[in-house]
Amino acid sequence: MRIADFALERYFARWEFAVKHVLCASDVEGCSMAELLALADEETAAMWSGLKLGYTESTGHPLLRLEIATLYDSIGPDDVLVFAGAEEAIFCLMSTSLQEGNHVIVTWPGYQSLYEVARSTGAHVSLHVLREEDRWSLDVDRLIRSFKPETRMVVVNAPHNPTGMLPTEGEWRRLASECASAGIRLVADEVYRFLEHEGASTLPAGADLDERAVSIGVMSKSFAMAGLRIGWLATRDRAVLDRCARMKDYTTICSSAPSEVLALIGLRAHERVLARSREIVAANLAVLDAFFAENAETFSWVRPRGGSTGFPRLVPGGAAGASADAFAARLVEATGVLLLPSTTFGSGDSHFRIGLGRTDLPEALGKLGAFVGRPIASR
């Protein structure tokens, strides 16, 4: 198998654990073990203390699959397959569903594995470009016009990383129904689901809208537990899950036993877990709104509608210069604040991703503001 480097992951490999402030993270500040274990009920507390560290069920612990299924309207525990993060789920899904001659449409700029793994199968990938001038919205008409007779899959990540795009419910339902009538599988990467901002509501899950559609979920983002490496696919199309289960035999075989129990604890208390995440993100959004209003000559800001990231642009002639790459490099060297330039998404050099989920955002943004405010010669 030949696959291009994952540019964002290579960038994080260099910087993530070497800097003081990761101001571009897509996950929400991780829960501590103490916080999480305090949420355990009698059954899960006993599962935790009595846990034996053997192999686990390849499809995922039955109680975990049951709990994941409650996040959907039409999904039962056997319609769920658990993976080591959404990343493994994407890998198994794309590599077992696609082949040369197939056509796939993927929202872009976006999470590279959604189109790179697809490409590595020999399938032809069209990128559905989200445009800043449309306020990053999903152009459902344009997307439908790009369907071809050989289109097998439409992949939409919403809420979207990095732009915060979130379709309206009407747009989302229309896309799902057009995909269904054209015999195209809708793959909904919903890892930021439940993090909708003011005025936006949680969309129906893709897997609930059509029996062939597949939803991708994970504990990492809205549920603030990236270190568990627990993700899943949910679909009523059992043939898809069966193919993925056979591929998983060659990747991880089964999930980590401690992680499965911890994910179960978190999901049983999901209302509280999500309330914590929403509170962090809402407070940070308010700080960012004020920052970008004050610095409108330097940065242009389209407020995200959902998720835990945004994608501001450097204003030409502004104090941060014109190259996001150069700006991020100078900033991290001078202040230890990490941004993610749009070059890591292969989408020009004018934007950068900012993360809304970390509690040190006000401090990190203060350092960024002070850096931009300095005379250029002293940076």
Ligand X SMILES: Cc1ncc(COP(=O)(O)O)c(C=O)c1O
Sheet of 103-108: strands edge to edge?
Answer: 80-83, 231-234, 214-218, 185-189, 151-157, 103-108, 124-129
Smallest gap from Cβ 221 to ligand X, in A, equals 7
Residue 231 within binding range of ligand X, rule CB under 6 A: yes
Find the part of the chain contacting ligand X (CB under 6 A) among 79-87, 137-145, 343-351, 362-370. 79-87
Smallest gap from Cβ 26 to ligand X, in A, equals 4
Question: CB count, 10 Å around CB of 177?
Answer: 13
CB 15 within 8 A of CB 332: yes
CA pair distance 25, 12, nearest whole angstrom: 10
CB 146 within 8 A of CB 153: no
Q: Which of 95, 107, 121, 220 binds ligand X (CB under 6 A)?
A: 220
In the Cβ-directed half-sphere of 108, how many Cα atoms lie within 13 Å?
Answer: 21
Question: H/E element holding 258?
Answer: helix 257-268
Listed in sequence order, the DSSP H helices in 183-256 are 206-209, 238-248
Smallest gap from Cβ 222 to ligand X, in A, equals 11
Residue 130 within binding range of ligand X, rule CB under 6 A: no
Question: H/E element holding 332?
Answer: helix 324-335
Smallest gap from Cβ 44 to ligand X, in A, equals 22
* Nearest to ligand X of 280, 372 (CB atom): 280
* Nearest to ligand X of 6, 330 (CB atom): 6
Residue 237 within binding range of ligand X, rule CB under 6 A: no
- Residue by residue, DSSP assigns 139-182 as -HHHHHHT--TTEEEEEEESSPTTT-----HHHHHHHHHHHHHH
Binding mask 142-181 for ligand X (x = CB under 6 A): ---------------x---x--------------------
Whether the ω angle into residue 159 lies within 30 degrees of 0, i.e. cis, is yes
Smallest gap from Cβ 319 to ligand X, in A, equals 30
Q: Which of 44, 60, 85, 319 binds ligand X (CB under 6 A)?
A: 85
Find the part of the chain contacting ligand X (CB under 6 A) among 47-55, 80-88, 265-273, 360-368. 80-88
Find the part of the chain contacting ligand X (CB under 6 A) among 33-41, 81-89, 97-105, 261-269. 81-89
* Nearest to ligand X of 280, 320 (CB atom): 280
φ, ψ for residue 266, nearest 5 deg: -65, -40
Smallest gap from Cβ 66 to ligand X, in A, equals 21
Total binding residues toward ligand X, as defined by CB under 6 A: 13
Smallest gap from Cβ 330 to ligand X, in A, equals 25
Residues of this chain that interact with ligand X (CB under 6 A) are 26, 85-87, 111, 157, 161, 189, 191, 218, 220, 226, 231
